[in-house]
Amino acid sequence: MKKIFGGYWVIAIAAVVGALVFAQPARAEYTVKQFRELKENPAFQFYILGVGTGFKWANAHLKNEKRPQLFCEPDKLALNGENFMDLLTGYIEHYKPVIKDDWTVELMLLRALEEAFPCKGETPDGKEKR
């Protein structure tokens, strides 16, 4: 058998197969309808993890700037991909009568986080937080 990629042919084949299995068209955002179709797809779940992590980084920046946060994650909970998917699924199911299929899941995840982890107290300017 001929060596491929310096003898790493198994890795090369696995990479190609993995790319084909998990390939999804690049998108800027996904709809609720697409969420229902893709929620079991590991690549889509990884995407939701990225969106949720982005919201956490935005929160860290807001906190550092002494500005109101988007949501207030409990100290004893480390949000992860599974948490984000559960929150998003629950939110979409809870509001199923009013949520439209063409709404974006990114906004739905933010709303789910705001609802699940509201901030209490006052903002730096003295106004009451949600």
Cα dihedral sign, 73-119-55-51: positive
Residue 104 phi, psi (nearest 5): -85, 140
Look up tokens 């696995």; give the residue: 14
Give the global pTM: 0.72
pLDDT, tens only, 43-61:
999 999 999 999 999 999 9
pLDDT bucket at 7, cuts 50 / 70 / 90: low
Measured CA to CA, the distance from residue 10 to residue 39 in angstroms comes to: 30
Locate 50 and state its tokens. Answer: 């990225």
